[in-house]
Each structure stands twice: as structure tokens, then as C-alpha cells.
Chain A
Amino acid sequence: MLHLTINDMPILVRKGTTILEAAKQLNIKIPTLCHLDLHDFKIVNESVSCRVCVVEEVGKDKMLTACSTPCREGMNIRTDSIKVIKARRMMVELLLSNHPTDCLICPKNGECELQALAADVGIKTIRYPGARTVTKVDRSSKSIIRDMSKCILCKRCETMCSTVQTVGTLTDVGRGFDTVVGTLLAKPMHETSCTFCGQCLAVCPTAALTEVNNEDKVWDALSSSKTVIVQTAPAVRVALGEIFGMAPGTDVTGKMVSALRAMGFDRVYDTNFAADVTIIEEASELVHRLTHNENLPLLTSCCPSWVKFIEHNYGDMLHIPSSCKSPHEMFGSIAKTYLAEKMGIDPKDMVVVSVMPCVAKKYESARPELASEEGISDVDIVITTRELGHMLKDLSLDFPNLPDSDFDDFMGESSGAASIFGTSGGVLEAAIRTAYEWVTGDYLESLDFTELRGLKGIKEAIIPLGDKQLRVAVSSGLGNARKLLDSIRSGEAQYDAIEIMACPGGCIDGGGQPYTHGDTEIIQKRMNAIYANDRKKIIRQSHKNPQVKKLYDEFLGEPYGEKAHQILHTTYTLRPKI
């Protein structure tokens, strides 16, 4: 243990503790910008590039960066001296000397960490109008916009993209003042192996990386003569409240439904209904593969970012992901066939809007195979939880005080199994709740598979299925997915079913969720809310959802049958690794 003092307060810390961590234990706040420590996921960005966290070691000339300097025995640190305050302000001024000051019209206005820091340290004027990085804004993809004129080179995005997700699209290019976080051969995003997981923009402190904004498309659809239907993913309802100052982990399902109705949607439905349909198909597929002992393990296919990852990186394994479309795409294809027919409207006159915790869903909805033979896309517009929040602010709704209301009948009903789709481990747990009863013919006593829950990157379990054993694994984060896939490819590990979600922790931590600014406790609270939502439901297994049964009776026929295949299943494409 080491003894030191910070601002005259003594503290005892373990060897290896940084000055920043020691100060935190004393409740002393040292401002940071490039630093990011997602300790629940063991993710740290240590680029030490912004130097905003400089502190003074009394009696020494050199300033120290608190985020990267380990404590030493007998150190005497000050974080509050005039020297520190002036140095810190200058660091921010230097960052601002190469940063646009168009905050009022910036997509990150109010959410920007640089803007907040500049206010905190009291920047009133730009003393150094220095040279500016000039780059072209990359709007090539359906999901992510890159505007490197707003980049401060903190490299958080690079840590997420290359180290955590092992996708390797973003990298620092060039040197000196000309350095930018760029892509391979300066290719536009849509030509790279980017999976559009959006973890880069989830951690970007400024607006260098933002989502493609579809809010106007939704307003336009709502003011058109078309029938506009909305569906919301399970992770949205446990995070949307944060945008309106509600405590993280508040389940705002009822208020969200009221708000969507106030926006003018003709029908307010639930992606959870389609999640139940997904389980019917996916559990059938699992039982089919287990019976025939082929194409195991079955990999879940709900996450479009993960699907693009396997298409680029594991082209030899494209036969093992489930052929099921993701739930919101299933919803879209059911809406544009069965529902359109029931409502007596032409599917061309129907607009399906998905509210998702995800930016990859924007790209996914434009995949050409996720459309009817006539070229009608299953889902027309995807907005994120954040975009929905902005739209509700446009309406000046008093969101926290809205009354609760229920989803519209039929495609609004769902089981507890569907609720947990929004978190890592949930899709597999939901599938097992159904597959168990189908395989064994027995009633499943305990519906909680706690070994599949939590924020851990890779979770494994062996589930007894009658006289058989089901070997399962769950991974969240694409780097963890890579580890699992490598072990399957080498024959080192054997599983029957694997769930993969691209974002650490699953959709609750998706690239389209309200910004957490590095606070992983928020993710844990969202996860708790998801499981609480499941426990509240009377029906907690997908195959027991009466409306889903009705859909199969009236329209789809046999689960995993011919018509179900035509409407609910999809194909994958081999893509080059670049």
C-alpha cells in the first residue's frame, strides 16, 4: 500500500492505482475528456491525448496526467491550485482552437462532453484561433455519420472498434496535426467491414461520430395520407425515461405508448410480439437441428451488427446462424402481409417505423433481401431511443407525467420471454423456455435461467433437456463473439446454441440508447428493469402468447413451415474482410 496526499487529504491506495482513481476515492473530481473506464466490461481507453486531467505534484515543475500516472509513496498532489486551473483551461482552449464552435446547430448540442467541459472550466473566449482540420463528412452509410472536423483524437472510438469489438474499421491515420481517425484506405464507411454496432458513437465525446437522423422522415410519414405503424424494441422502454430526467432503470412502457399515440401513429405496436414469433421459429429450428444433429451450434440472428460481422469474418460458417429474421423485421413482414390484409389496405400505403436501441437496425432495414418480392421493404424507417426522445421534446410533451396506456390489440401483446430480448442472455433464455417444453413434453417449473444473466462478456451453461443436455453459451461484444467462433472453428469447444449480441451487455447498451457517458451502473439498472418487466408478466413463455397462436392459426400455418419460411426467414451474404 502507498501513502500520499491529495489536496492535503491523506489516502492509502494499492500499488498501481492512478492519481485519478485515488482522487475519486476522496470524492475529489478531476475533469477528464479522452479517458473512458467502463469497469463492468473491463474496457479502458488510455490514450492520454487530451491532457485535461493534469494535476500538480507539489515542488515539481512537471504537471502529471492524473488518468495515467500511478500513485507513488509520499506523493503530494494538488488538483485545485491556480497552476492546475490555468493549465487545465489552456488544454481545453487548445482543443477548441481546432474545433468548430457551431454548438447551437450541432447534433450533440447538450450531450457533448467537450461543450460541458468548456462550460465547467469557464472558457469565455477563444484565445488561439489555430489551424483547422478540414475533412469531408462521411454520410455514406445508413447508420453512422463521421465528421472528423469535430474529432478531438481521444481514440475512444478506436478502442471500441478495434480492441473491444475487433472490427478494426477505425484507426488513426497520418501523423502530427494531419492525424485523423480514419478508415482503411480512406474508404467511405459503407465500403468497409464496419458492422454499424454504433459503439463508436456511443462513446464519442463530441459529434465526430453520430447516428443518421431519421426524425424528419417520421414526421413526414405522419403528416402523409399513409397508415403509419410503430413498433418499439424491448430495450427502449427501460431507457427512454432517462432523456426526461427520470431515474435510470425506470420502465416507462405505458408513458411511451401514450406519447407515441400523441405523435399521431395509427397503430402503436410492440416488437415484443414479434420477439415471441421469433422464439416460435428459432426454437423450432433448434429442435429441428438437434433432432437431425446438423448445423450445430445454432447462432441467434436478432442482432444485425453481429450478422454483418459473421458475413465479413467467418464466411465459412454462414450455415450456422439461425435463418430467422430479426424480430423487428419479422414484425414488418407480418404487418405488410397479414395486418395490411386485415386492415384492408395496400401494403404500399403502409409505413412501418421501428424505434430501436440500435443504429445497425437502420442499415439492416435497407438490406435488399428484407423486402417483399415487389420490393416493399419490411421496415421503412428506423429511429433510435435518442431520436424518439428528441421528437417527444419537439412535441413539448410532459413525458414523466403522461398517463400510462396499453399497446394496441393483437400485435401489441407479448410474453415475459419477449421482454428479456433486450439484454444479453435474454434471447437464449427465451428460446430455452419454449424449447424445453417442446423437447421434453414436460411443464417447465422454473423459468429463470440466472446463469445466462448479467454483464459478463461470455457466459456458459449446460441445461438439462429431459435425457439430453443442451450446451449453451452467450456472448456480448463482438470481441467475445470472435473468441467463441474461433473456439468452435478449431473444434476446441462444442455447443448446441449460442446467443450473440454485438453491444457489451446487449441491446440495453445499444448504440442508439441515451448516452451513459461511461456510467456502466446505468446499464445494470436497465438490465434489472428488463427482468422486472419479465417477472410482472402473467405469460412468460412465447409459445403461450394467445395472439401468436392466433397468427399461426389464421395465417402462418405450421411453425417453421413453408409460409413461415417465406415471410419470417432470410439469407446471408458472404462479404469481403477489409
Chain B
Amino acid sequence: MCTGNEFLQPLEAFLADDKLTESDLIEILHFTQNHFGYIPDEAQLLIAKRLKIPTSRVYGVVTFYSYFTQVPKGDNQISICLGTACYIKGAQNVLNEFEKQLGISSGETTADRHFSINPTRCLGDCSKAPVVMVNDDIYSRVEPGDVSKILAKYRSDSQEAR
């Protein structure tokens, strides 16, 4: 199966395995999400064709699991814990500050794709509430006043990376 689409080539290679069946859908979607950073529409069409299932079924699964996204995520993933402990300690104010400074809502990505804010439940570090995670870095006892400092760090990181 060849779509002649270079962009989708890695997924085509993954789907070349003869043994794949409908029950492998989640695994295929994980690969797609990790490889592209999101699940493109064309990928959903390709997967459905390969598994011989309606594309709507692929779409239903993609929309069900919050791990899968249909828009590209930012280079830096900001997760603000809204679990009970963090919430009581003022996590909502921290989230509001991130949203305000980046001009996006929770679940969205900035236009320059540097940042995404992810809605998050307990990260398991309640003694240090409120907790914020950026990529793999943990920040404890975060206050709204810390937000610009945290963002500045990743702003320069991403620019260097480019």
C-alpha cells in the first residue's frame, strides 16, 4: 500500500506488517501520535483503509482517548496538576496565569507551537503542591508569580533548538 505521500511514509512502513488487525488499532495510533506529534487526518484514512474498517471508527477512538490529539502539540508540554491537593493550594490561579501569558486555553497550543497546556490530574507529588510539569521537569510549590520565569527558560531552549 503506497500513497505516494512522503509525509506518511513512516506510518506506511509501520502498517506494512501483515499481521496487523483491527485489535492493533490502539498500538498503531500510539505510533502515529508519537511519530507525528498528533494524528493527522490523512493518517486516519490510511489506517482505516489498511485495517479495512470505517474511518469513522478510527476517528471515534482518536477522539475518545485524551492521549491522542488531532492538532500538532507544542514543543514544550506544560501540565498543571489540578488534583485535589494542588487545587486547594491554588493550582487554578497558576493555570490561569499560564493561560493569560500564553494567550491560549488549557488543551490548546500556541500559534508558534512552542507551548501546549495540558489538562492534568494528580501527578503524585501532593506534598509539594501545587505542582507543574514542563516536559520531564517538575516544579513544586508554584505560584502565579513564578510563571514568567518558568516560561522564559523554555522560550530560550526552544529557540536554541531551532
Contacts and interface: CB of A to CB of B under 8 A. Distances in A.
Interface residues of B, number: 15
B54 interface: yes
Contacts of B57: 162, 168, 171
Contact of B41 (A168, A169, A175, A185): A185
B55 A184 contact: yes
Contacts, number: 42
Interface string B34-73: 0000000100110001000111110110011110000000
A174 B56 contact: no
A172 interface: yes
A48 interface: no
- Interface secondary structure of B, over-half rule: helix
A2 B65 CA distance: 41
Contacts of A167: 54
A574 to B, nearest CB: 16
A290 interface: no
A184 B64 contact: no
A126 interface: no
B59 A173 contact: yes
A170 B57 CA distance: 9
B59 A174 contact: no
A175 B56 contact: no
A168 B53 CA distance: 8
Contacts of B53: 168
Contact of B63 (A169, A170, A175, A578): A175
A183 interface: yes
Contact of B55 (A173, A175, A578): A578
A179 B140 CA distance: 35
B45 to A, nearest CB: 7
Nearest to A180: B63
Contact of B54 (A171, A174, A185): A171
Nearest to B61: A171
A174 B63 contact: yes
Contact of A578 (B45, B60, B65): B45
Contact of B59 (A175, A185, A577): A185
Given A162-B54, A185-B41, A578-B45, A171 B64 contact: no
B129 to A, nearest CB: 25
Nearest to A183: B56
Contacts of B63: 173-175
Contacts of A183: 56
B52 to A, nearest CB: 11
B71 to A, nearest CB: 12
Interface string A177-194: 000000111000000000
A173 B60 contact: yes
Contacts of A162: 54, 56-57
A525 B45 CA distance: 43
Interface in A182-237: 183-185
Contacts of A175: 63-66
A577 B60 CA distance: 17
Contacts of A166: 54
B25 to A, nearest CB: 13
Contacts of A174: 63-64
Nearest to A169: B56
Interface string B57-91: 10110011110000000000000000000000000
Interface string A547-577: 0000000000000000000000000000001
Given A185-B41, A578-B45, A172 B60 contact: yes
A303 B54 CA distance: 22
Interface in A129-184: 162, 166-175, 183-184
A168 B64 contact: no
A48 B59 CA distance: 22
B6 to A, nearest CB: 21
Nearest to B57: A171
Contacts of B59: 171, 173, 184-185
A177 to B, nearest CB: 13
Nearest to A175: B64
Contacts of B41: 185
A504 to B, nearest CB: 19
Nearest to A184: B56
A171 B57 CA distance: 6
Nearest to B55: A184
A578 B54 CA distance: 8
B108 to A, nearest CB: 16
B62 to A, nearest CB: 9
Nearest to B66: A175
Contacts of A168: 53-57
Choose among B64, B65, B66 the residue with the greatest number of A CB atoms under 10 Å from its CB. Answer: B64
A184 B54 CA distance: 9
B121 to A, nearest CB: 13
A185 B56 CA distance: 8
A194 to B, nearest CB: 10
A162, A166, A171, A577, most chain B CB atoms within 10 A: A171
Nearest to B53: A168
A121 B57 CA distance: 36
B53 to A, nearest CB: 8
A476 to B, nearest CB: 21
A169 B54 CA distance: 8
B56 A170 contact: yes
A172 B61 CA distance: 9
Contacts of B56: 162, 168-171, 183-184
A184 B60 CA distance: 8
B78 to A, nearest CB: 22
A171 B55 CA distance: 10
Contacts of B54: 162, 166-169, 171, 184
5 contacts: A168-B55, A173-B63, A184-B44, A184-B59, A185-B59
Given A168-B57, A175-B63, A578-B55, 15 more contacts: A162-B57, A166-B54, A168-B55, A169-B54, A169-B56, A171-B54, A171-B57, A171-B59, A171-B60, A172-B60, A175-B64, A184-B44, A184-B54, A184-B56, A185-B44
Interface of A: 162, 166-175, 183-185, 577-578
Interface of B: 41, 44-45, 49, 53-57, 59-60, 63-66
